[in-house]
């Protein structure tokens, strides 16, 4: 019996491996049924779909965007909604895997007649789902820095975050500012993290910084002791990293243990600015230890002024209401997805009013007009202000907490970078800015 | 050389965790004839039960005891409620594998629904770090290794010196013959589910302690390592599983140090495939 089943067992092992790779897709909704791809009848609720990982290694991303979606839509609804419609958010769990993302997105379109906008679409799944969303003529604000979107035209694709290579340069610029001479790389084996490596290696070379070791972290692995020891043995001044889920916190804990209780300074990507990441890293090595030598690049976002006030009021009103949101909720005020997707939702909602249509093929071009502005346009800092100005017959330029928008012909709008740190309580502090010249000096 | 010695130490820790899990898995398979692929999911359920106890402000070691008891009871229920009815109907082994895969997803996603999808950590310290002859191990890791050795000694004593152990070995060797010899195989199987479920819970908690940070899907890859250790040693062979765990644990860490971390699982499975090619019944399996 045992030997006869050996083949069965090996097949089972393969199945188990396949299962771990595939998982399953799942989505939960707050609104929407039946088919279609544009708006429902007047007075109905329009849906904004948060297409992102809610489970798996990058599970922190989905709730971050959802918090923003809740905040933005509640504020829009309080200001009267859009053309008689209220807005609501819907989650679509991609599990951070294209194999799960594609059927989940297809299901979204098959079951949501009231869909008006897609947000999320991270680097984990963007390459697979952007063409599908685009073919459905649905506007999307994606949180991907993948360079393949830098010069390919997807008419319905919009991006308020920088290409990954610019973020790689930003990390190296931080290392330069801190006078680090030796850097170790530790990036996850997912698509979103791997895209940073080659630009970072090139920029390190240009900056005259020695690359001590380049470790790839399997996000499904349970320990990284050997990788941690290899990093320690290479004697870096700092580690540049993006490995979400359990990987980075586990790596940090093992480095601290193997390095005589001392952490090595960390320079992370903007993805590390999220409450779940801080919570996991702080639990792994201690909050004060983690916060003492941690920096991350982040797109410049406002921390005061009318746009920030409207944003923080809208977001903080959702504290305790967002499924999956953990940790210090105020960190979402600095999370890159939080800020820029808030702007994206407001741009879309204002464009709907301006074009008098909830159909993306009609309203999407107006997002560019409102974002980039025209001479003489009234600058507005919130949806409520913008809606009132449009009602008064004015042309507007929206400037949200993510700062001014400047879409190029590929619908990319990227800003300049700031340097963030954490306090021991998990609050995010801005400790510096990186200039365009600094990044240019490290490019190409 | 330093990294090599350190990686041997890391391999010992991985092997210690793997040994507890593999011995439980192989005993379960050997005695019950169920290839329970939900084992990894039960492990992580145990880890989260201990986490819940730990979050309530008590020691994670108390959580470990609760997890062992809960996984033991849960495994007995899993068998009596799911596997045994299928077996009574004469369900084929491959169908049983599919059933266990289904249970994996049910348990794993249930844990995820309750605990959320993000990583968590126990509130506990690693203790002092010891540097001995190139090996670098924390107090916690030494405790995990000690716990594993005690568990292995316990399993050895159970199988070798107790009536229950002999009955388990007899049931694993030939269920019908054991029954004809007066062994109440049904009871032996139920006790085996309870014991191996307890080992599964123990493995889940030490796995989570060792990982530092874990989420509901954290054991997905580890289950494959358990299968590798079990079949390297010889399916159903407790001592083989211990040996297999040592080989797989050390091979993964040493290869990560000397080739590249990307290849550590590749090397482990090349070892397994070569082994199965040379000796299909595993290191300690009976010759065909």
How does residue A33 score in pLDDT terms, banded at 50, 70 and 90? very low
How does residue A18 score in pLDDT terms, banded at 50, 70 and 90? very low
How does residue B1 score in pLDDT terms, banded at 50, 70 and 90? low
Q: Does the domain spanning B2-278 belong to CATH 1.10.3470?
A: yes
| Kind plus residue range of the DSSP H or E element containing A343 | helix A336-355
What is the chain B residue with the closest CA to A54? B117
Q: Do residue B215 and residue A59 have CB atoms under 8 angstroms apart?
A: yes
- pLDDT above 70: residue A322: yes
Span B97-106, pLDDT tens digits: 999 999 999 9
Q: Is B119 on the interface with A (CB under 8 A)?
A: yes
Between B118, B138, B288, which is nearest A3 by CB?
Answer: B288
What was the pLDDT predicted at A375?
A: 87
Between B112, B138, B260, which is nearest A257 by CB?
Answer: B138
What is the chain B residue with the closest CA to A234? B3
How does residue A59 score in pLDDT terms, banded at 50, 70 and 90? confident
What is the chain A residue with the closest CA to B99? A12
Q: Do residue B214 and residue A261 have CB atoms under 8 angstroms apart?
A: no
Between A6, A17, A221, which is nearest B280 by CB?
Answer: A6
Mean pLDDT check: name the lowest of A20-29, B140-149, B158-167, B197-206: A20-29
- pLDDT above 80: residue A127: yes
**Highest mean pLDDT pick, A261-275, A344-358, B175-189:** A344-358
Alpha helices, H only, A185-330 = 191-194, 197-207, 225-233, 247-258, 275-285, 287-292, 306-316
What was the pLDDT predicted at B286?
A: 61
CA distance A285 to chain B (A): 9
Q: Do residue A229 and residue B257 have CB atoms under 8 angstroms apart?
A: yes
Q: Return residues 144-203 of B near A (CB < 8 Å).
A: none
Rounded mean pLDDT, B28-48: 95
Q: Is B51 on the interface with A (CB under 8 A)?
A: no
- pLDDT above 90: residue B50: yes
CB burial readout B174-198, b (16+ within 10 A) else e: ebeebeeeebebeebbbbbbbbbbb
Between B101, B207, B253, which is nearest A19 by CB?
Answer: B101
Strand ranges (E), A39-160: 45-52, 86-93, 115-120, 140-142, 157-158
CA distance A171 to chain B (A): 24
Same fold for the domain at A26-163+337-398 and the one at A164-299+417-442? yes
What was the pLDDT predicted at A107?
A: 94
Homologous superfamily (CATH) for A26-163+337-398 = Response regulator (3.40.50.2300)
Q: Return residues 210-229 of B near A (CB < 8 Å).
A: 210-224, 227-228
- pLDDT above 70: residue A128: yes
Q: Do residue B7 and residue A229 have CB atoms under 8 angstroms apart?
A: yes
A198 phi/psi in degrees, rounded to 5: -60, -45
To the question of pTM greater than 0.80 for the whole model, the response is: no
Global ipTM: 0.72
Reported CATH class of domain A164-299+417-442: alpha beta
A410 phi/psi in degrees, rounded to 5: -100, 10
Span A156-199, pLDDT tens digits: 999 988 788 888 999 999 999 999 999 999 999 888 888 899 99
What was the pLDDT predicted at A323?
A: 86
How far is residue A1 from each of residues A9, B34, B60, B278, measured CA to CA in Å? 12, 11, 41, 20
What was the pLDDT predicted at B193?
A: 97
- Contact assessment for residue B148 and residue B16, using Cβ atoms and an 8 Å cutoff: yes
Q: How far apart are CA A110 and CA A106, in angstroms?
A: 6
- pLDDT above 70: residue B4: yes
Name the average pLDDT for chain A: 87
Span A308-320, pLDDT tens digits: 999 999 999 999 8
What was the pLDDT predicted at B191?
A: 96
Rounded mean pLDDT, B37-44: 96
Mean pLDDT check: name the lowest of A28-42, A173-187, A373-387: A28-42
Name the average pLDDT for chain B: 90
Query: In terms of pLDDT, which residue wins out, A350 or B250?
Result: A350
Strand partners, B120: B214
What was the pLDDT predicted at B134?
A: 76
Among B39, B118, B171, the strongest candidate for a mutation testing the A interface, having the largest count of A CBs within 10 A, is B118
What was the pLDDT predicted at A35?
A: 35
Q: Is B240 on the interface with A (CB under 8 A)?
A: no
Mean pLDDT check: name the lowest of A11-20, A275-284, B185-194: A11-20
Rounded mean pLDDT, A414-435: 89
Q: Which residues contact B136 (CB under 8 A, 6 or more apart)?
A: A229, A257, A258, B6, B9, B129, B130
| Kind plus residue range of the DSSP H or E element containing A296 | strand A294-299
- pLDDT above 70: residue B243: yes
Mean pLDDT check: name the lowest of A176-180, A246-250, B132-136: B132-136
- Contact assessment for residue B261 and residue A217, using Cβ atoms and an 8 Å cutoff: yes
Domain range annotation of chain B: 2-278
Q: Is B58 on the interface with A (CB under 8 A)?
A: no
Q: How far apart are CA A49 and CA A118, in angstroms?
A: 5
Mean pLDDT check: name the lowest of A89-98, A125-134, A325-334, B34-43: A325-334
- pLDDT above 80: residue A112: yes
Domain range annotation of chain A: 26-163+337-398, 164-299+417-442
- pLDDT above 70: residue A364: yes
């Amino acid at each position: 019996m045992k030997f006869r089943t050996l083949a069965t067992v090996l097949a089972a092992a393969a199945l188990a491996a396949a299962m771990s790779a595939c998982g399953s897709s799942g989505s939960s909704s707050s609104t929407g049924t039946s088919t279609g791809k544009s708006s429902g009848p007047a007075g109905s609720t329009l849906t904004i779909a948060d297409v992102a990982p809610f489970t798996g290694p990058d599970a922190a991303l989905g709730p971050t965007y959802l918090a923003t979606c809740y905040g933005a839509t509640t504020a829009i609804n309080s200001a009267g909604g859009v053309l008689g419609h209220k807005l609501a958010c819907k989650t679509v769990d991609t599990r951070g895997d294209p194999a799960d993302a594609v059927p989940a997105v297809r299901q979204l379109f098959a079951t949501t007649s009231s869909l008006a906008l897609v947000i999320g679409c991270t680097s984990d799944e963007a390459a697979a789902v952007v063409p599908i969303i685009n073919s459905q003529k649905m506007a999307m604000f994606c949180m991907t820095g993948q360079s393949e979107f830098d010069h390919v035209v997807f008419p319905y694709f919009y991006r308020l975050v920088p290409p990954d290579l610019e973020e790689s340069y930003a990390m190296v610029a931080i290392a330069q500012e801190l006078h680090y001479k030796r850097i170790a790389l530790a990036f996850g084996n997912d698509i979103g993290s791997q895209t940073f490596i080659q630009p970072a290696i090139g920029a390190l070379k240009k900056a005259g910084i020695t690359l001590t070791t380049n470790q790839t972290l399997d996000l499904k692995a349970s320990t990284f002791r050997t990788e941690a020891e290899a990093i320690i043995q290479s004697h870096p001044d700092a580690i540049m990293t993006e490995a979400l889920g359990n990987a980075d916190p586990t790596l940090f804990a093992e480095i601290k243990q193997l390095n005589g209780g001392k952490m090595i300074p960390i320079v992370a990507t903007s993805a590390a600015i999220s409450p779940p990441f801080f919570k996991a890293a702080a639990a792994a090595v201690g909050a004060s230890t983690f916060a003492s030598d941690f920096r991350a690049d982040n797109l410049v976002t406002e921390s005061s002024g009318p746009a920030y006030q409207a944003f923080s009021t809208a977001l903080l009103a959702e504290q305790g209401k967002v499924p999956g949101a953990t940790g210090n909720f105020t960190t979402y005020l600095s999370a890159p997805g939080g800020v820029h997707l808030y702007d994206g939702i407001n741009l879309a909602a204002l464009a709907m009013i301006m074009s008098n249509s909830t159909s993306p093929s009609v309203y999407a071009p107006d997002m560019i007009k409102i974002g980039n502005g025209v001479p003489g346009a009234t600058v507005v800092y919130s949806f409520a202000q913008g809606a009132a100005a449009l009602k008064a017959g004015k042309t507007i330029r929206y400037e949200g907490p993510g700062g001014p928008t400047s879409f190029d012909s590929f619908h990319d709008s990227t800003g300049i970078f700031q340097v963030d740190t954490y306090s021991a309580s998990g609050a995010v502090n801005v400790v510096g800015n990186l200039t365009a010249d600094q990044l240019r000096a490290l490019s190409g | 050389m330093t990294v090599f010695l350190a990686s041997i130490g890391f391999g010992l820790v991985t092997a210690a965790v793997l040994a507890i899990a593999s011995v439980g898995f192989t005993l379960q398979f050997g005695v019950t004839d169920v290839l329970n692929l939900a084992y990894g999911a039960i492990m992580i359920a145990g880890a989260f039960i201990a986490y819940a106890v730990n979050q309530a402000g008590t020691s994670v070691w108390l959580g470990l005891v609760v997890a062992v008891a809960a996984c033991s009871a849960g495994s007995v229920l899993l068998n009596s409620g799911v596997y045994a009815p299928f077996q009574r109907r004469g369900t084929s082994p491959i169908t049983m594998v599919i059933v266990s895969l289904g249970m994996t997803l049910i348990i794993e996603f249930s844990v995820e629904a309750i605990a959320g999808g993000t990583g968590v950590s126990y509130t506990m310290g690693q203790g002092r770090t010891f540097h001995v002859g190139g090996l670098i191990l924390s107090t916690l890791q030494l405790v995990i290794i000690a716990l594993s050795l005690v568990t292995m000694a316990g399993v050895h004593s159970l199988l070798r010196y107790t009536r229950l152990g002999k009955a388990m070995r007899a049931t694993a060797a030939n269920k019908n013959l054991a029954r004809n010899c007066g062994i109440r195989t049904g009871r032996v199987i139920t006790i085996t589910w309870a014991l191996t479920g307890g080992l599964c819970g123990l493995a889940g908690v030490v796995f989570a302690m060792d990982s530092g940070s874990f989420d509901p899907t954290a054991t997905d890859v580890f289950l494959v390592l358990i299968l590798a250790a079990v079949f390297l040693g010889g399916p159903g062979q407790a001592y083989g599983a211990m040996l297999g765990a040592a080989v797989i644990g050390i091979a993964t860490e040493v290869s990560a140090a000397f080739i590249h971390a990307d290849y550590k699982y590749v090397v482990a499975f090349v070892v397994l495939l070569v082994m199965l090619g040379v000796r299909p019944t595993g290191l300690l399996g009976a010759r065909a």
